[in-house]
Amino acid sequence: MKETDLAPGLAERIVKVRGRLHPFERIEPEKTALVVIDLQNIFMAEWSNYAVADARDVVPNVNRLADALRSRGGTIAWVRMTFDPANPWRTFYEDMIRPELAEELKAGFEPGSDGHALWPALEVAKEDMILDKTRFSAFLPNSSDIAERLVAKGIDTVLVVGTVTNTCCECTARDAMMMDFKTTMISDGCAAAVPALHAGALGNFIQVSGDVRTADEAIAMMGQAAAAAAE
């Protein structure tokens, strides 16, 4: 993310507080996880009422990032939004959305349903993690066990991609930072229904919670760290 991509005056405000725009200059692949949020049929397929059209466009960048990180010893975690009757989220399903919409989403988030499945164009490898979350954020303790699984693998850095930028991606990224992971949102690896919401979420995140980079920048940073380690 460049200064020109931010709201007027935001870059100056960040630099005043942090001393620089970007908090992280290196991505060490072996200590890094690419966390892919909700790239499932319910949010991708043209037949779905809840599809985010731009989410289909970020798939090539997600696959490139996954391949680059995996080939350098990093971890890929594919995360699916899931409805679990044993762990219901009543405030969201009962208070935040209409009852008929709640039932549609519950059905679409049910494991084994077409909506719950990962988008088929994603290049998932057998060694990758596939896990489910029951809240917007994957890092919320009662949503999934991703934090414990990544810590057990020695991961201290997280790259977040997926959809929707300003909801599940941003919530996941913020909570990852709260759990003490060095967290970066990939600007052209995330998608939202409205461009202004996408840009706003990234601006909010880089201000106090982590970094924002493009896929090309992240891959280059992986290569720089690998080259330095080989010296």
State yes or no: pLDDT of 125 exceeds 70. yes
- Strand duo 129-133 + 75-81: pairing: parallel
Say what the alpha-carbon torsion angle 201, 139, 183, 31 is, to the nearest 10 degrees. Answer: -160
Domains and CATH numbers, the chain: 9-17+28-230 (3.40.50.850)
pLDDT single digits (tens) 41-72: 999 999 999 999 999 999 999 999 999 999 99
CA distance 20 to 5: 16
CB atoms within 10 A of CB 26: 11
pLDDT single digits (tens) 135-188: 999 999 999 999 999 999 999 999 999 999 999 999 999 999 999 999 999 999
Task: Cite the beta strand spans of the chain per DSSP E.
Answer: 32-37, 75-81, 129-133, 157-163, 182-191, 211-213
Q: Alpha carbon of 75 to those of 5, 12, 104, 105, 207: distances in Å?
A: 29, 34, 33, 29, 26
